[in-house]
Amino acid sequence: MFSDMFQKLWANGIIQRGIWETIYMTILSSLISYAIGLPLGVVLNITDREGIYPLPLLNRLLGLVVNFFRSVPFIILMVAMLPVAKLVVGVSLGNRAMIVMLVIAASPYVARMAESALKEVDAGVIEAAQSMGSSNAQIVWKVLLPEAKPALITGAVISMVTILGYSAMSATIGGTGLGQIAVSYGHQRFNPDVTWCCVFLTVIIVQVIQEVGIWISHKTDKRIRH
């Protein structure tokens, strides 16, 4: 049923290591991307014309930068950012460089997801906080972020799945993971069972991320009775 190549990869722990490397790159990249993208999303939201601290010029300039990086296909962005990866982590190839690429590609995406989630917060809640004399910082920390938490978690799930898809291109710059195994040991060596095994394992990882994310989102949603 399985080729000799698949059995060899499994016996040597290469597939198991590929699973771990894929999960590791996805989680670490997602955490860093959210650490960068969430503040950007907050700034985009509050500086909007209808935000709590309108700054149209800043909002427009920041929006242009975010849209620029979102518009570039990942494979092109990855090649263009090789010098940046070398500057940040000292190498332009391998998993460390790939994480830099993933963060650069995902942070603008996360920023827009966060901005969209924050816009879903009921304006009446914000107006009530303002009427009680809350500062803009208090509104962000005690109203916007808590109220948007379920949508932010849902956005995080979507972002992680997107990052996981991007990570499959790691083989392009000498990285590892399931994508590299599928290309190097499956496609290039004519072992379709290896390729489909990587596809199946990737689908499982995506399903786990989605199920866990949805469960957390429901638990944090005050509108749902538990």
SS3 122: coil
- pLDDT for 175: 81
Does 97 reside within a domain?
Answer: yes
Which CATH number goes with the domain that contains 98? 1.10.3720.10
Who wins on pLDDT, 190 or 66? 66
Q: Among residues of the chain, what percentage have pLDDT more than 70? A: 96
- pLDDT for 223: 59
Does 50 reside within a domain?
Answer: yes
86 exposure class (CB count in 10 Å sphere: 0-12, 13-18, 19+): middle
Does 225 reside within a domain?
Answer: no
- pLDDT for 225: 55
Does 38 reside within a domain?
Answer: yes
Average pLDDT, stretch 149-155? 89
Closest CA to 59 of 40, 37, 75, 31: 40
Average pLDDT, stretch 140-166? 90
- Read off the pLDDT of residues 22-72 as tens digits, 9 standing for 90 and up: 999 999 999 999 999 999 999 999 999 889 999 999 999 999 999 999 888
Q: How far apart are CA 110 and CA 116, in angstroms?
A: 10
Does 31 reside within a domain?
Answer: yes
Does 52 reside within a domain?
Answer: yes
The CA-CA-CA angle for residues 97, 157, 123, to 5°, reads: 120
Question: Which residue range forms the structural domain that includes residue 97?
Answer: 4-220
- Decide: 96 and 89 in contact? Cβ < 8 Å: yes
- pLDDT for 216: 86
Residues 6+ apart with CB under 8 A from 57: none
Who wins on pLDDT, 171 or 198? 198
205 has a pLDDT exceeding 90: yes
Of the candidate ranges 42-51, 69-78, 194-203, 214-223, the one whose mean pLDDT is the lowest: 214-223
Q: Among residues of the chain, what percentage have pLDDT more than 90? A: 49
- pLDDT for 1: 56
Does 16 reside within a domain?
Answer: yes
Q: Outline where 12-94 has alpha helix (H).
A: 14-46, 56-71, 74-80, 82-89
Does 226 reside within a domain?
Answer: no
Q: How far is CA 121 from the centre of its chain?
A: 22
203 has a pLDDT exceeding 90: yes
Number of domains in the chain: 1
- Read off the pLDDT of residues 80-115 as tens digits, 9 standing for 90 and up: 888 999 999 998 888 899 999 999 999 999 999 999
160 has a pLDDT exceeding 70: yes
